[in-house]
Structure formats: structure tokens, C-alpha cells
Chains A and B, each alone.
Chain A
């Protein structure tokens, strides 16, 4: 028996908060757990696998979280590979459930990035850190947005990609967010608005960058067999993969993202093609992240991302709607966004998304990126389907 088709996501919950100065990370996680378990028709007593990561959890973070929830799980995974972690947690939970190491996995994220004024994109490292990454980028003033800008600049130089094409991605996310009552930024914007917003790190403007919010969410994973006895329609895990990309031995190819390797495995496992996918959830830390990820996922050829995102192709109603919730560019971005990719994919496949519903959504791809694509990053892909 393979993992594909035999593991299900039984419950999801996206915390509605976008500003929570009165909450802690663990509180947001616990409130999200309550929501996702209710969604799944399960209780906290059913949970025997705990998966979590956050902006502040350290080496003992999952132990502290287990105490907070008074959980004594049989399986624990605190993998933290940046914003993609929660997509990877789905893969890891599937492996653990498939191997019989746990039955009901609870994946949690919570953050107060906005209310604690965390400079996610432009904080910089401010110096010569000792870890192997910061020691080589810190002295030069590297920022998260700068790392992504390096890729955008190269893409524009090599393939003639236009800043207006990147802007179109931000405009699309805002149009989707306008349909999402919980989204933080719902006022429509134009390509001109993006182009006229101040430059943060050339060629990326302010509106090419994700927003900063508070928030969190939870996902419940179990076997497909068990999920079929629960109230909601199971969403099946059909394929998964994860990968890392870095500077190698001084030979980084900034156009080859981890998404290429992780999605190749996910598509192979699922036995479906790119054309079969009804919509995609793609980590949109910056507009260039979406464009480069679409290329590496194989939805278009390298260099064709600019044309691919144009003419409404990634809008609701287009050939491949991307992030119908409004993404990190407009819905929410509390530091690490991967869990929301999974949650929205599941809700869309169940047909629960109201005004922003992708018509007839049966097959979804979600891809998380963690870290920075110009220095080193992780990627995790899942392909989900409704029965």
C-alpha cells in the first residue's frame, strides 16, 4: 500500500486574527487546534502525533507546546525549514501514519509577527554572524527581500521579464483578497500602484513584498480509512516531495529552485500531469517567488513565467488560479506561511470558499518555500485531491 491516496487531511482551521497583541503564539496555535479538531469531528484526546514550528520555538519548542496543550503524543516532529515547514509536516505526518507510528497528526502554527513588530523582509542580519550562512552574507548587508531581488534582476536580464509582469502577480493576489472577508488587505490595486510604490531592493517595490500580519492555523492528518468515518469529505494526499537548494560549492544557479526537485517527486507519486491541476497554492513571499516557482513546478518553461502570469491566467477563472485566498501578498503573512497553503487548498477542494471558490476544484497543488531563494532555501510540494 502506498502513501498516495491512503492519507487524508480531515480538518483545517485558519485563525481569523490578523492583529493579536493580546495573544501568545501558543494561544493562537491552541485556538487553531480547537478549530481544526472541531472541523475534523475529533477531540484533542484523539491526537497522538504533534507537528509544529514557529518563529520563536527553540530546540525544546515542541516539548513546551505539548505541555501547553497537555498532550503526550506518540510521535513528535519539530522540523523547521522556514515557511515551507508545514507543507513538509504534512509529508512527514503521512509517512508516520503510513508506518503506523501515529494515527491522528496535529500540525500547528501561530505567530505575532505584526504586533511584535518583526522586520521579516528588511531586518538584515546586521553583521558577521557565526553560522555558515550569516558569516558570508551578513557582512554585506543581505536582507530577505534583497535575496529575492537578486533572482528577479537576473530573470529580467536573461529572459526580458518585465517589472509590470511581476506587478500583475501582486494585483492578482489583491483581487483575490478582496473576495476573502478575513484578508488583511482588500482594497484593489493596479499595476501602476505597484510600479509607483517605493523601491525596497531593485527591482522589487513595496507592493512586490508580502504583508506582515499576526495569525496561525492548524491541520489534522489521518488515514484515509479513518477520515471516511468523519463528518467532512476527506481530502486525499496524492503526492508529496521536499528538497533543499543552496550555494553548493560556490556554484548556485539562482533559477533552479527546490520546487523543481520536490514537485518532480510529487507529480510522479500522484500520477497526474500539470494540466490536471485545477488551482495552485504557491508561497508568495514576493512576486518573483510566484513567477520562479511556477517555472520550477513545470507549469511553464524557464523564462516563460512573465508571460504565464499575464492576461489573467493565474486569476480566479483563469487557466491556473493561484492563491485564491489572496496569499501572503494580501491575505496574511505571519512570518511563516506554509500552513495556509494547505488550509486553503483543503477548503477549496471541499467547496467551502464562497465568493473566491475555484469552480469544480478537484485537484490542487500546494508548494511552500522556506528561507531565501538567493541564498539557501527549502521547498515542499503536496498534491491533494477530493474523492
Chain B
């Protein structure tokens, strides 16, 4: 599904650093300055200690597949025209799990535990934002 035009992602001010990072080809995660907990999805506070002191850092982009499904039916566009496609949770080296698509592999060859790396699909937008959708592909 690498040729698919992904739906435009929406960035709130809390999630902007993540989507801007994707636009640069980087997975950006949050770490709490008070308790050092790494969290995803991004938010304005640390959900562990409620501190507002949040740092952002660039993750390696390397992950392993936690679980996946090959989807043969989705009535919503644009996905309807790209079945079958692979949806997965991947576990990043830094700990958090992301929901994503697996690309660059025949769906029948995808396996739990497979090593994957981030692969960014830039978005064509008219609002001046430089965002991309991170998918993962076999290393």
C-alpha cells in the first residue's frame, strides 16, 4: 500500500512535535523531566506523575512487531481500494507500542516478532504543514 495517499493527519498543539518529527523522518517520543517515564501518545502532562515538564527526544525508529492483522475488508476510502493491507502494533526499542501499517513486505510473510524500521510517507497538504505518516517495513 506504499502508493496510497494517507488521510491527512491532525495535529493538536500537544501532538505537533510528533507529526513534525515524522515530517523530518524521525519518530519523536516524550520523556518526563520529573520521573523520566517515556510516554506515547504525546500529551501536555506526564500521565504517570502529572508533571508539565515534558522533553521530546528522537527515537531510533527500530521496532519489533507485537501483533498484526491482514485486513481484507474496509469499506472506507482510501483503504477500500488498497485491501489487503497490514495493520500492526510495533514495540519501539525505547518501549512504547505504536499502531501502524507494515509496508514493503508481502502480507503473507509478515510475522510477530519481525524486526522493522520506520518508513515515512510524506503528505501533500495545502496548509503549509510538513507532516508524514510513519509506517514500518522489514529491516
Interface residues of A (CB under 8 A from B): 119, 122-130, 132, 135-143, 145-146, 149-154, 157, 198-204, 247-252, 254, 375
Cβ contact of B41, chosen from A129, A132, A143, A203, cutoff 8 A: A132
B97 lies within 8 A of chain A by Cβ:
yes
Give the chain A neighbours of B112 by CB distance below 8 A: 153-154, 157
Task: Tell me the complex Cα distance, A249–B47, Å.
Answer: 7
| B104-129 vs A, Cβ < 8 Å mask (1 yes, 0 no) | 00000000100000000000000000
Task: Tell me the complex Cα distance, A248–B97, Å.
Answer: 10
- Return the chain A residue nearest B11 by Cβ: A135
Task: Using C-beta atoms within 8 Å of the partner chain, give the interface range for chain B.
Answer: 35 or more
- Return the chain B residue nearest A151 by Cβ: B67
A157 touches B6 (CB 8 A): no
Task: Tell me the complex Cα distance, A278–B39, Å.
Answer: 43
Q: Which DSSP category, helix, strand, loop or mixed, fits chain A's interface? A: loop
Task: Tell me the complex Cα distance, A163–B39, Å.
Answer: 35
CB distance from B128 to the nearest CB of A (A): 17
A140 touches B10 (CB 8 A): no
Interface residues of B (CB under 8 A from A): 6-10, 12, 15, 37-41, 47-48, 66-77, 79, 82, 85, 87-89, 95-101, 112, 133, 135
Contact of A141 with B10 at beta-carbon distance under 8 Å, contacts A126-B79, A150-B69, A251-B95 already known: no
Cβ contact of B99, chosen from A126, A140, A153, cutoff 8 A: A140
CB distance from B121 to the nearest CB of A (A): 9
- Return the chain B residue nearest A154 by Cβ: B67
A141 touches B71 (CB 8 A): yes
Task: Tell me the complex Cα distance, A143–B75, Å.
Answer: 9
Give the chain A neighbours of B66 by CB distance below 8 A: 154, 254
B40 touches A143 (CB 8 A): no
A123-B75, A136-B41, A150-B69 known, 12 other contacts, Cβ within 8 Å: A123-B74, A128-B6, A132-B41, A139-B7, A150-B68, A153-B67, A199-B72, A200-B71, A247-B41, A250-B39, A250-B41, A254-B89
B99 touches A201 (CB 8 A): no
CB distance from A248 to the nearest CB of B (A): 8
A146 touches B69 (CB 8 A): yes
CB distance from A257 to the nearest CB of B (A): 15
A136 touches B99 (CB 8 A): yes
Contact of A250 with B10 at beta-carbon distance under 8 Å, contacts A150-B69, A153-B69, A153-B112 already known: no
Provide 23 A-B residue pairs closer than 8 Å at the C-beta atoms, listed in order of the A residue: A123-B74, A123-B76, A124-B76, A125-B76, A126-B7, A127-B76, A136-B99, A140-B99, A141-B71, A141-B74, A141-B82, A145-B73, A200-B71, A201-B70, A201-B71, A201-B72, A201-B73, A202-B70, A247-B41, A247-B97, A249-B40, A251-B97, A252-B89
CB distance from A138 to the nearest CB of B (A): 6
A139 touches B6 (CB 8 A): yes
Contact of A146 with B10 at beta-carbon distance under 8 Å, contacts A140-B87, A252-B89 already known: no
Task: Tell me the complex Cα distance, A135–B10, Å.
Answer: 6
A251 touches B79 (CB 8 A): no
> Of A140, A152, A201, which is in contact with the most chain B CB atoms at under 10 Å from its CB?
A140
A254 touches B67 (CB 8 A): yes
> Of B8, B37, B79, which is in contact with the most chain A CB atoms at under 10 Å from its CB?
B79
CB distance from A200 to the nearest CB of B (A): 5
Task: Tell me the complex Cα distance, A158–B103, Å.
Answer: 23
CB distance from A184 to the nearest CB of B (A): 21
- Return the chain B residue nearest A157 by Cβ: B112
Task: Tell me the complex Cα distance, A141–B133, Å.
Answer: 12
Cβ contact of B133, chosen from A130, A139, A146, A249, cutoff 8 A: A139
A126 touches B76 (CB 8 A): yes
B67 touches A198 (CB 8 A): no
Cβ contact of A127, chosen from B7, B68, B89, cutoff 8 A: B7
A127 touches B8 (CB 8 A): yes
B75 touches A142 (CB 8 A): no
Give the chain B neighbours of A146 by CB distance below 8 A: 69, 71, 74, 87
A124 touches B79 (CB 8 A): yes
CB distance from A150 to the nearest CB of B (A): 5
